[in-house]
Structure 1
């Protein structure tokens, strides 16, 4: 594969772009890694109620301190800031919210996403370790699933593939893919390229994406603010 035509976005900028798609007032669950960065990158005036699988609802951002209260952590080990109205409950109640379809949006990381919207994000077979956690429930039951990830692996192999070779988290579940070079919407007709990073053409994005991309009529340059 050829070298990149322009710089890729940072992990923070991927999260910042994903945060633009979170609905004001919505109930949102953030996965670990890039998704967790979204909580402190919301556009001005947007307020969300975050949910964590281990039994928290209603926090609005993460405490960036590393010495937070170990008794108040989300499922990814982050420290939510305490705000009036937060609720704490057990995992039965928490997964009841998820499986009942009460999560408006979940932002998850990804190892692979297929052209049909299948998601694999919990184990790399060669490593032989991994835990699916609540990802299966979130991917299956959230009203909207956004995957925020880097577009390729460290050796520049596509992570958006024709068919996932890693164990699936859930099939046909992804609505949107936001990477360091593109915003892609998953529809029944295929993968629609909505945005590309500055300096990246649709052809550049296609070169490191296995499935055929359909360039949207509203295609534009990547927006992060």
Structure 2
């Protein structure tokens, strides 16, 4: 499987029965395809839906029913639709149990940067609802490639890009490893199949310790 599928499959294992879950743009939305059998939960989309269902067939899609990334979705029985302000308010006040967010950088303090790139001296495209999600959600899971295209670590001692949220990330899932965020140090819980602790150390700037129950990812 490719790296994005590996991350999405592993992220889905963090979800549990009865939770209210937000999935961020891009790769995190794929986690809904790999829910463990028997897990029933409610997906939220920040543009104003509780009760997001599976992606419809192209012939059955409705341009007025999309997620926040403008991808067509369906509505499950009992779904609730609301305006954006109400949805953002629910995100800020702690209604959601889990959010899975893509990231550009994360660090050992639990900081996440996921919105800003500098082009021609300007930061863009804008922070959006991720700021509200990192503030109000009980558990924030960050998903990202472990290193950039040049091999530089994206799991840092301290993020260098503008922060989306501070001290908010609970779990980090990459194509190489799963970390929990501890007290100013990461805790290595799992390694991807075929990846050793030494491999992970070689591409991780952040400090980390190894969990007592460290093991290989089960996908």
TM bin, normalised by shorter chain, reads over 0.9
CA-CA distance at 1:143 after TM superposition = 0.4
Aligned to 2:3: 10
Aligned partners of 1:116, 1:99: CA distance in 2, in Å? Answer: 21
Trace 1:114-193 onto structure 2 (pairs within 5 A): 114-126=107-119, 128=122, 129-193=124-188
Unpaired runs of 5+ residues, structure 2, are none
Match of 2:103 in 1: 110
CA distance in 2, matches of 1:214, 1:9: 27
Q: Distance in 2 between matches of 1:64 and 1:211?
A: 43
Deviation at 1:9, TM superposition (A): 5.2
Count of residues in Structure 1 that have an aligned counterpart in Structure 2:
217
The aligned residue for residue 218 of structure 1 is 213
Q: Which has the higher strand share?
A: 2
Indicate which of 29, 39, 43 corresponds to 2:36.
43
Give the C-alpha shift of residue 155 in structure 1.
1.5
- Paired position in structure 2 for 1:63: 56
- Answer whether contact 2:109 2:184 (CA < 8 A) is retained: no
Q: Quote the Cα distance in structure 1 between the aligned partners of 2:133 and 2:175.
A: 23
Distance in 2 between the 1:66 and 1:132 partners? 33
> CA separation in 1, counterparts of 2:169 and 2:63?
32
Runs of at least 5 residues in structure 1 that lack an aligned partner in the other structure: 1-7
**What residue number does 1:22 align with?**
15
Map Cα deviations across residues 118-148 of structure 1 (whole Å, 9 max, x no partner).
1000011246321211001101110000011
Q: Paired residue for 1:85, among 50, 54, 78?
A: 78
How far apart in 2 are the matches of 1:206 and 1:134? 33
Cα distance change on mapping 1:216 and 1:30 into 2, 3 Å = same
Moved more, 182-191 or 58-67: 58-67
Distance change (3 Å), C-alpha of 1:168 and 1:73: same
Note the aligned Cα RMSD (angstroms). 1.6
Specify whether residues 67 and 85 from structure 1 end up closer, same or farther in structure 2 by C-alpha distance, changes over 3 A only: closer
Residues 45 and 52, structure 2, Cα contact 8 Å, conserved in 1: no
Query: Bigger CA drift: 38-47 or 214-223?
Result: 38-47
Note closer, same or farther for the CA distance 1:193–1:12 as it changes in structure 2 (3 Å cut). Answer: same
